[in-house]
Structure 1
Amino acid sequence: MHIKKADIFGFGKWVDHTIDFTDEPFICVYGDNESGKTTIQQFLLFMLFGMPPKKRAGYKPKMSGKMGGRLTVDDPEAGEFVIERLHDVQNGKAVCYTPDGQEHDETWLQDRLKGMTKETYQSIFSFSAVDLLDIRSMREEELGEVLLGIGMTGSNSIHALEKRLDAQLGERFKPFGKKPEINQQLASVDTLFQSLQQYRETEGDYRNKKEVLQQLNDELGQLQDELTKSKDAIFRLEKKRQALPILKEYQHVLQQLQTYPDPFSFPEQGMKRLEQLNEKLLPLRSELSVLRHNLNEYTSKRNAIWNSFFDDAVYEQLESILEQKQQWLDVHKSLNGYGETIQKLEWQIHAEMEQLNVGITAEDLQWLQLPFSAEKTWNQLKSDMDQVMVTKEQLEEEHRQLLKEEEYLHVQKDKQQASLADTEREKELQETVHQYHRQKQMLHDQDEQTWNWDQLKKQKEKQAAAWLTGGIAAAVILSVLAFITDRMTLLGISGVILAASIGQWTAGKRSHREMERMLVSKKPASGEITENEKQEAEKTLAANDEMKQELSIVQEKLRSNEMTFLKWEEKKSGLEQRENRVQRQIKEQWKQYPFLEQMDSAHWPALFHPLKHVLELHRDKQRQEQAYEQQLQKSRHFDERIDHFFHELKWDIAGKSTTDKVKEMENVQQEYWNGLSRIDQYDEWIADTEAKQREVQQKMQVYDEEIAHLMDMAGTETEEAFLAKGKQLEEKQNHAAKMSELDNQLARILPGDDYERLPAMELPEEHTLEANYEKESDRTSRIEQELEQKRQERADIHAALSGLESSESYSETLHRFTTEQEKLERLAEEWAVLKSAKEILAETKRNYRRNYLEQAIEKTTHYFHLLTEKAYGKIYPPEGTQSFQVEARNGIRYDVNELSQGTIDQLYVSLRLGISEVMSEKHRLPFIIDDAFVHFDPVRTKRIAELLAGVSEQQQVMLFTCKPDVMDAAANVSRADSKSSIRIPLS
C-alpha cells in the first residue's frame, strides 16, 4: 500500500492543509520542533486505523470546527482509493471511495489492511528515538529477551507472562524448598502417613482382611454392573411396551402429513392477518358513512341560516344607527346632570351671599369684577402692615442684643491674651518636631538599602551555587572521560575546574558576610528625639495656634459689632418712611371698592377668595344653562333618525319609546351576528369533515392493498379461496403439531439411542416384547440374590475391620490423611496446569524461532553489515539470559552492552528493518521512522539514508526529522517541508 496524498480538514495545528507524498517511495519530512511532524504521523494513523473519541478530542483544532480529512492511497489489489474520516460523522468511522464511484465502510478498509491493527503496525512498521531510549533503560540481562518479544508480538507481553508463570510455579513448588505450598503439603501428608502405618501394624491380619474386602468389592462391582445392564434392558422393554400405541399413531400421522404439498405457498399467519385487516376496515367503513351523513346535515343547516337574513344594506344602516347609541345615552345622562347642577348652583350662591353679609346683592354680581391684581394688592397691603409692626419689635430686640454682645467680647479678649505662650518657647517646640522628622527619614533610607542588599545577596548566592554545581558536574564528566580514555590530563583539568568553582563560591560567601557586617554597623545614634516627645511638642504647638486663631476671631467680632450699630440706626429711619407709604395705598382701595371701608385691612385677603368663589359660581351657572340647550338638540336628532328607520322597514312604533326601539334593533343585529357565527362554525365543520373523509379513504386504501398482497402471496383471487387454502394449511400445521407432540412423548418415554433410531424403527410384535421382558426379569432376580450373599460376606469383614479400626486416634488420623491427600492432589493439579502453560509458551517461542527468527536474524545481519561497513559479520540471537551478541571482522564476539550507543542504535534499527521485511510479505504498508538516528554521526546517517532508499524499492518509507544533517543525507529522495503544503523535489 502506497500513501499518495493527505488532505487535512482539521487536525491539531493543521487546518485546510494538503501534503503531497508524490509517487516517490522514499520521502523525508523535515521541520523544526513543534512544527507539527508528530501531528502528521498521528493523522496518518487516524486515517488508517481510527482513534478513540477521547484521544480525538485532543487533536480538535482551536481555530476551526472541522476535525478529520482524506487520505489517498494506492493498493495493489483495490487500486487507488480515498479514505475519509470525520470526527462528528459516524463516530469517526472511515468511508472509502473507489474510482468506480462506490462507497465502502470500515470493514472493507480492514480487509484491505488484512486485519492489521494500529498497535501491530506501530510495533513492526514504525519506531522512533523514544523506542531506543526504552531499550537502553532496561537491565542488561533482559535486553535480548525484550528485543525477541518485539519481534514476536510487538511488545514485551510474552516476556512478562513468562515471568508471572515462573513466579506462580515458585510459589507452589520448589525441589528443595520448604515454604512453597506443595512442599509444606507433602511434609504434612508424609507425617500423617507414618502415623497411620503405625496404627495398622498393630493388627496382624489387617492386610489380609483388606485384600479379601477388596476382592469382594470387585466382585460386587461386577455383579452390580450386570444388574444395571439387566435392569436397563427391562427398562427399555418396559418403555417399548408403553410407547407401542404412540408409535402406531406416530406412523399414521406421518403418512397423513406426507399427503400435503411441500412447499405450501401461503403468507405467514395469513388467516390472522386477513382477519385483522377486515377488523380494521370495518370501523373505517362505518366512520366513512357517518362522515358523509354529517356533511349533508351541516350543508343543509348552513344554507337555511343564510336564507333567513335581510339585505346587507339594512344591516349596514342598522349598525350605523346603533353605533350612535352610546352617544345618545351620554346625552340623556348629561341632560339630567346639567339640570341638577343648575339647581344646586342657585342654592349655593344664595347661601354664600348671606354668609358674606358685606352689602352685596345678586344683581351686583352682574357688574362686579375681581381681577387677579386685587388679591395681590390686598395681600401685599396686609403683608406690608404686618412687616412694619414686626420690624419695629425686631429693631428693639436687636438693640438689646448688640449691647450684650459687645460686653461679652471685651471679656473674652482679655482672657485669651493672658493664655498665649511666649515666642522663645514656641521656637523650641518647633525645633523638636523638625529634628524628629529628619531622624525618621534617615531610618527609612537605611531600611531601603538593607532590602536592596537582600535581593542582590539572593541573586549572588544563586549564581555562586550555579557555578559550584556546573564546576562539580564538569569535573565529574572529565574524570569519567579520563578513566575511559586513560588521559590523566583530563583528570588534572577536572581538579582545576573543581578548585576554581569552590574558590568562587567561598569568595562570594566571604563578601556577603563583610557586607552584612557593614550594614549592621550603621545603627542610629543614641539620644535622638522619641515619638512621645515629638507628639507632646506637636500637641503644645497646636493648642497655642488654636488660641491665636480664637483671639483673632474675637477682635474681628468686635469690629463687626460696631458696624452693626450703624446699620441698626439706618434700618430705624427706613421703617418710618415705609409705614407712611402703606397708609396712602389703603385709602386708594377704599375709593375703588367702597364695601372695604367697613373692614380692617388685615381681613381683606380673607374676603377675596369667598367673594371670588361666588362670582365663579354665578358664571358656572350660566355655562351649564347653555350646555343643557345643546344636549337637548342632539337627543331630538337621534329620535328622529330611529323613527325614519322604522318607517322604511314598516315596523310598528305605536306606543314604543326610543329605548324600546333601540333594544329591538339590537336584537335584530345580535341574531345576524349569531347567524354569521353559526355559518362560520358549519363551514369549519364541513371542511374538517371533508378532510377526515379523505383521510379515512386513504387508510382504507392501504388496508385494501394489503389484502390484495395477501391474495397474491397465496395465489388466490377471492377471500373464499384464500380462506379455504388457509384452512388446508391449518390442517397441515395441526398434523405437524400432533407429530411434534407424539415425538416429544416418545422422546420422554424411549431411551436416547432408541429415540434416535425412531424414523427407521420397525414396530415390534407385542408377544415378542412380553417374552423378552420375562426372560430379563428372571435374570435380574438371580443377580440380586447373588449380590445379597456377597454383601453379607463384606459386612462380616467390615465388622472385623471395625474392631481393628475402632480406635478414635486411628479414625481421626485416617480422616486427616484423606483430607490432606485431596488438598495435595488439588495443588499438584494447579501446579501441573501452570507447568503445562509455561511449556506451551516455551514451545511457542521455540516454534517462532524455527519459523521466523532465523529469517529475521538473517535480514538483520544483512542490514547491520551494510550500516557498519562490514565491521561486524554475524549476529547471534539471545539464548537464555544471554543478550544479543555480534561478531566483529576479526572474529571477536561482543555483547550488545559492550557496543557504543550509536552501534546499539544501528543494531536495533537493523533488527526492526529485518523484522519489518519478514512480516511485510503479507502486509506491504508504509514504514514510518521518527528521528531515530539521534546518536548517528554524519557517516552513519548517510549509510542509513542509502539503506532506507534500498528498502523503499519494496516498501514506501517516510522519514520524519528535525535534524538538518539527516535531511541533507536524504538529499537524493523526495522531501516535504512540514511547514508547507508544497512538495520540494531535490536534485
Structure 2
Amino acid sequence: MKILEINIYGYGKLENTRITDLQDFQVFYGGNEAGKSTIMSFIHSILFGFPTKQQTELRYEPKNSAKYGGQLTVVFSGRGKAVIERVKGKAAGDVSVMLEDGTYGGEELLQDLLSHIDKYLYQSIFSFNLHRLQNVHSIKSEDLGRFLFSAGAVGSDKLLIAENSLQKEMELLFKPNGKKPIINEKLLKLRDLHSELLKAEQQNGRYSDLINEKETIESRITDLSKENARLQKQINKLEEWKKLYPVVKEQAVIREELKQYENLQFPVDGAERLEHLENKAQEYESRKNSLTARISATASLLEDLSVCTDLLNSESAIVNASESLPLYEQLRQEQNQYKLKLEKLEHEVKALREKLHFTVKEEDLLMLDTSIFMKEKISDAHSTQARLKVKKDDLDRRFNEEKARLESLEQQLKSIKAQLLPDDEVEELKKRVAQSDKQEDLQAGLVDLQERLASRQNAYKQEVGRAAKEKKLFTTQRAAFVALFAALIVVGIWSSQWLLTAVGAIGALFVLISFRKSTVSYRTEDLRAEIEQLREKEKILKDKLAEFAKGEQPFLAGKLEKEMQLREKHHLLHIKWDEQNGQYERIISAFEQWEQDAINHKALLIKIGQDLLLPDHIVLNYLNDAFQLIEKLKIAYRDRQYLIEQYRTASSSLEKIETQIKTLNDKFLKNSHLSIQETALLLRNKVKAELEKRIQYDEKQAKLTELTEELKELETELTATKDEQAKLLNLARAATTEEFRKLAHDSERKEKLSDELDSLSRQLKITTITAEEIAAFLLIEDSDEEMAKQTMRLGETEKEFAALQSQLADVRHEINQLEEGESYANLLHTFALQKAELNEEAKKWAKYTIAKDLLAKTANHFKNDKLPKVLKHAEEFLDFLTERNYIRIVPQQHAQGFLVERSDGILFEANELSQATAEQVYVSLRLALATVLYEKLHFPILIDDSFVNFDHKRTRKILELLQRVEGNQILFFTCHQHLLPSFEAKQVIQLREEDRVHVWQQ
C-alpha cells in the first residue's frame, strides 16, 4: 500500500489542501502549528474513521468551514489505484471507495482493502510518535522488560496494561485471605444472614396491637431518664463541692497573709548572688599575691639569656636550602633524562619530516587545525571519495550497458530503414492496391446494375401493355362525351341559351385535350430513358472489370503488407530507441552530476590541503596518511617544546639552589672548601642550637607577658566584683549585708505563699464547678442535708425507671414474637438475593481468570512461534543502530521480559539499559513487527518526531535504517531543520504555518 496523494477538504486548520507525488520515503518538515500532526491524524481518520465525540482523540473539526473530510489516493498491491473519500456524516463519517477498474463501494470495501486491520492495531504497529516512544521512560524499571515484550507482541504496552488490568480486576473481586474484595465481603454477609435465618426459623408467631402501649412507656422512660440525669448531676456537684470547700477556705487565708508583703522588693536569687560575689572577691585577692611573686622570678631569668638575631633571621633561608638538597639531586637526574629524551625526540621529528616529504616551518605546523572536527571532515571527505569512486564504477558499467543497447537498437533501425521503400513509392503502391479493393466494388456494382436494368425492362413492357388498353378505353369514352357535348351545343344554339352552348364547347374541348394526353404515356418515356442510361453504365463497368483481369493485384498487396510490417517494426524500434536514449541521457546526466560532485569534492580537498599547507598531489592521493603524519609531527613538536622548557626549568632551579647555599656559607661559615651538602648540614646545626636558645628566651618572655596580663585582668575582675556587690545591696535597699539577708528571708516566705496560692488556683480550674456555682454553694448552710434530699429523689425515679424498663421489655417481647413471621420471609428473600449476587460476582471473577490465562497462552504462543523471526530482524536493526555494541535480544525463559546481550557477551536486564538504548531496542522491535511479522500488510509507516531524544550520531543511524526499509512507504514528520541535509530534496515537503490553503507538490 502506498499513498500517492492527499486532498484535504477541511480538517483542523487545513482547508482545500493537496499534497501530490508522495515518495516511498517522504519527509514533512515544518515548525510548530504548521500542520504535521493534523496531516498524520487526517490519514488515520480517512482510513479508519473520524474519532467520535466520546473518544479522547481530537476530531480536528474546522472552525471556519462547514467542509470536514477529504480524499486519499492510494495504490494497493493486486487491486491497483483507489480513491478513498470520507466526509462528515454518521459518527465515523461517510466513506466511499472508487477503484480504477470502476468498482465502487463503502466501508466494507475499504475494510477488505485494509485486510480488516483496525485503527488501534495500525497505530500500534505502523505509527510512531514521541509520546509512545517516551512511554519507555515513564514505566517502572522492574516492568520495563515486560513492557518491551508487550511492545514486541502487539506493538505497544497494551499487553502489559491488559495483564495488569486483569490482575487488578481479579483482586478487586476476590483474594484468598482478603476482607475488602467484593466476593470476600459477600461471603461474610451471606454467612451472617445464614445464622440469622436459622434463628428466625425457630420463631414464627402472630402480630397484635401493642404499639400504643410501647410508645407511652418509651415516652415516660425518656422523661425519667432526663430527670435522673439532672438529679445525678446535682448530686455529683454536691460531692465535688465537699472536696473543694477546704481548698476555697485555704485560698482565702493565704491571700490575707500575702497582703503584708505587698511592698517587698528583692532581687531574684539575691542571697545566693551575694554569697557568690563575696567568695569571688576572696579568691581574686589570693591569686593577685601569687602572680606578683611569679613575675619577679621570671624577669630575673630573662636577664641571663642572649640570642644571635642575625642567624635566626636567616633561619628560613637555611632550612629551605637544607630541605632543597633532595630536590637538588632530583633536578640533576631530571636534567640528564630531559637531555636524553630531547635527543630521541629529535630523531623522531627528523623521521616524520622525511615521511611527510615537504617542508613546513615548525611554528606554521603548530598553528594547523588538527581538531576532531577537522579529523571528522577529512574522514567524511575520504568516505565521499570512496563513494564517488564506487559511483563512477557503477556509472561506467551502466554507461557501457546502455550504450551497447542503444547501439544495437541503432543498428537494427539502420538495417530496417535500408529495406524501406521511399514514401512516394509507398503512396503509389497504396493507390494501386486500393484499386484491387475497387475491383470488388465494381463487380458488386455491376451485379446490382444488371438487376436494376432487368427490373426496368420488365416495368417498361408492363407499361406499354397498359397504355394500349387505356387508349382503347379512352377512344370509346371520347366518342360518347363528344356526342353529349355536341348535343348541348346544338340545343343551346337552337334555343338561344348561350350559356348551355358555352358549357358544351368547353366540355368538348376538355375531352379532346384529355384524350390527347392519355394517348402519350409519360411513364413509358421515362422508363425507356432510364433503361438507356443503365445500359451505358453497364458497358462502362464491364470495360473497367476487363482491365483488372491481368492478375497484378495479389503481388502488389503482398508487397504493401510487407512494407507496412517493416514500417511498424521500425516504429516500435524507434520507440524503444527513444526510451533507451532517455535512459542513456539519464546516465550521461548522472555522469555530469558525478563530475560536478567530483569537481566540488576536489575543490573541498584542495581547500583542506590549503588549510593544512599540503601540496595538491598529496591532498588528492594521500590526505588521510598526510593528516596522520601532521598530527604525529605536531605532537612531537609540542613534546619537544615541553622537554626544552622542562630542561631549562631544571637548570635554573639547580643554579638557584647552589647560589643560595654559597651565599649563606660566605655569611655565616666563611669556608669555601665545603661542598653544597656539608655547608647545608653545618648551617642547619648552627641554627638549631640558636633556636633552642631563642625558644627558651621566647618562652620566658611569653610567660612574663602572660603573667602581667593575667595580673591586670585579675585586678579588673576584683574591682568589678566589688562594684556588683554594692549594686546588689542597693537593689534590695539594704545598707548592710545583715539587713540584706533579713530581706532575703522575707522574700522566700512571700514566694512560698505565692506558689501555694497558684497550686490552689490550679485545683479550682480543673474542677467542673463554675465560679457562680461556688458562690451559690457557699450560701448553703448544710450541704450534707441537701445531698440526702437529692439522693432520696434519685432513688425514687430509678425504681420507677426500672419498673417501666421491665414493662417495656415485656411489651417488646410480645411485639417481636408477633413480627418474627414477616422477618423470616424478609431474611429468606435477602439471603436468596445475596446468594444470586455472589454467583454473579463469582462468574465475573471466573471470566477474568480465564481471560488472564488466555492472554498468557497467547503471549507464550507468540513467544515460542512468532517471536524468533521478529527477534532475528530486530537484532539486525539493533546491531546496526548501536554499531554492534548490542547484538542480541534474548527472551527470558520464565518471565515476560528480555535480556539484551552486549558485544562483550554480558547480558543486561531491560531496566539496566540506558534511556537511549532502551528506545533503540523499542524501535528495533517496532520496525521488525512492521516489516517481518506483518510483512504481507505493506502499510505506510508514520513517524512523528520520535527521535528527538537521540544525539546526532544515533539520529543519523536511525534515519539511515529507515531509508533502508523496503516494502513500506515511510512518512516522516519533523520540526528539526538540522535533519533535512540527511534527505534528498525531492523527499522533503516543507510546511509553513501560514499555508492554510495550499497545494504541496514535489
TM bin (shorter chain):
0.3 to 0.5
TM-score between the two structures when normalised by the length of structure 2 = 0.32
Task: Kindly indicate whether structure 1 or structure 2 has the higher relative contact order, using CA contacts under 8 Å at least 6 residues apart.
Answer: 2
